[in-house]
Amino acid sequence: MAELITALDVQTRAEAVEKIKTIGESVGFYKIGLELFIAEGPDVVKAVKDLGKKVFLDLKLHDIPRTVERAVRSAGKLGVDLATIHACGGAAMIRAAADAAAEFGERAPKILGVTVLTSLDENDLRDIGISGRTAAEQVQAMGRLALANGAAGIVCSPREVKIMRNILGVDALLVTPGVRPAGADVGDQKRVATPADAVRDGSTHLVVGRPILAASDPAAAAVAIRAEMDGAV
Ligand code: C5P
């Protein structure tokens, strides 16, 4: 069954804890990104874990293999469940992250590769030296590289899920932001899908931020999204 992850896009640990308590039982998994982690540090991960929730630490690591290996080891000690790295950091870096995670055995964080940032178009890719490939081809190449070197899955747009499922096989985790219930405000997301479509196409984890956090009743919004996901299978 696909998991619902709420993006904790808030600035303080107090706000994060309050949001989690307000949202309640229907969300068991939270994404902590750079904003909150830089503001509050590892304590915010502990606070979320103490509430009995799983943590997706979305810091998009990209550095030399040794540094990434040590960062993943630190994340493993915090008990995070999912963590992101940039697949374009290369095979050795991805392998270093996967091996460091594996040291934690059953509690190992699962490593997700970020393929191509959705903010980049083909002109941006050319500027950074990636030419002769479309953005979609680069996503596929980075996805293959990530999985071939021990990553458990990738982060991708719900519009890419079907093709990435075919390319990466049945076991790959496909974690998709850009999810909007029908009729919801899309905000700055351009390529959205509904929770039901994302699940049907093969997403294993749906990351939903504003449709829950900014709802007048966040608990009800989460319950409705969960129900839509469950109804899709
Ligand atoms: O509020 P919203 O549902 O758009 O939040 C989605 C979350 O997923 C945010 O934390 C956003 O930074 C993240 N994300 C995304 N698109 C990507 C990668 C990450 O929306 N391509």
Kindly report the average pLDDT of the chain as a whole number.
96
Domain boundaries in the chain? 3-231
Task: Name the amino acid, one letter, at 96.
Answer: A
Pocket test for ligand 1, best of 34, 35, 124, 207 (most atoms within 8 A of CB): 207
The residues lining ligand 1, judged by C-beta closer than 6 Å to any ligand atom, are 7, 9, 33, 118, 155, 177-178, 187, 189, 207-211
For 120-173, the pLDDT digits (tens) are 999 999 999 999 999 999 999 999 999 999 999 999 999 999 999 999 999 999
pTM of the model: 0.96
User: DSSP 3-state assignment of 205?
Assistant: strand
CA of 157 from ligand 1 middle (Å) equals 10
For ligand 1, atom 15, name the residue with the nearest CA.
Answer: 177
What confidence tens digit (pLDDT) does each residue in 83-119 have? Answer: 999 999 999 999 999 999 999 999 999 999 999 998 9
Positions annotated as catalytic residues are: 60
| Alpha carbon distances (Å) from 70 to 64, 103, 112, 148, 211 | 10, 12, 16, 21, 35
The whole-angstrom separation of Cα 213 and Cα 159 is: 23
The yes or no reply on domain 3-231 and CATH 1.10.357.10 is no
